[in-house]
Amino acid sequence: MPLYTTADQLYACIGTLFNRVLEESPDVEQAILASGLVIHMRCTAPTAEFTLNGRRSPVQTSYGSSPLRPDLDVELAADTLHRILMDELSTQKAAASKLLKVKGPVWKISTLADLLTQGQAFYRQVLREHGLAP
């Protein structure tokens, strides 16, 4: 059974996580800003969209569809995102096994990978805060 049963749950948890990482890890925010990327993540099961705008300081996050044209467009199942954030699956292995699909310059996925790796430190706490701790 999937951890996230609704898009609202996914938005709440990942929104909290991204905000916490950007607040607590200025090096991650600086890396996103230095890249100048607009990163769009599209999750399935449940369907949700996240956009990180590295063209403005501070990094802006938006939830739902965005009018911004992404430099890096990533698609993955919410369960795959969960496994990456639980450190059960690396972004490289997810991409190699096509669980994570990337459109755009694949070598720039390291910016997203840094965000997700740093998010691992906060993810379990975020799940507890939202009543979803496994």
Give the pTM: 0.95
The identity of residue 97, as a single letter, is S
The whole-number pLDDT of residue 89 equals: 97
Residues 6 or more apart whose Cβ sits within 8 Å of residue 100? 74, 75, 76, 80, 84, 91, 94
The identity of residue 73, as a single letter, is D
For CA atoms 126, 17, 113, 10, give the dihedral sign: positive
First CA to last CA distance, the chain: 12
The whole-number pLDDT of residue 56 equals: 94
The identity of residue 24, as a single letter, is E
pLDDT per 10-residue tile (average), the chain, 134 residues: 94 97 96 96 97 96 96 97 97 95 90 95 97 83
The whole-number pLDDT of residue 134 equals: 59
Element spanning 110, H or E: helix 109-129
Kindly list the structural domains of the chain, giving each domain's residue range(s) and its CATH number in brackets, ordered by start: 7-129 (3.30.1050.10)
The whole-number pLDDT of residue 133 equals: 84
Closest C-alpha to 43, from 82, 71, 16: 82
